[in-house]
Amino acid sequence: TQVTDALRERLGLDFAQANTLEIVDGRLTGRVTGEIVDRAGKARLLRRFAAEAGVPLSQTVAIGDGANDLDMLNAAGLGVAFNA
């Protein structure tokens, strides 16, 4: 996405995923386009990233700040909740 791609490159991350924000005439509309990264989707993405990297889920870390992160936090080897 517009934000996560830049952060992924700058931080040297292998994987990043987020909702795609709609931009019209150079301005954010407040809408999301494409597939929504929801509670279940976050856990699915963590599993996919781990599989693609050949990393066991037991060696993954997930960080979240809300109820929609619970599935991902539970799937990770180390789940970190903050400001939750």
pLDDT tens string, the chain, 84 residues long: the values are 878 999 999 999 988 889 999 999 999 999 999 989 999 999 999 999 999 999 999 999 999 999 999 999 999 999 999 997
Amino acid present at 70:
L
pLDDT of residue 3: 85
Provide the whole-model pTM.
Answer: 0.82
How do the domains of the chain map onto residue ranges?
A: 1-37, 39-84
pLDDT computed for residue 31 by the predictor: 96
Q: What is the 3-state secondary structure (H, E, C) of the chain?
A: CHHHHHHHHHHCCCCCCCCEEEEECCEEEEEEECCCCCHHHHHHHHHHHHHHHCCCHHHCEEEECCHHHHHHHHHCCEEEECCC
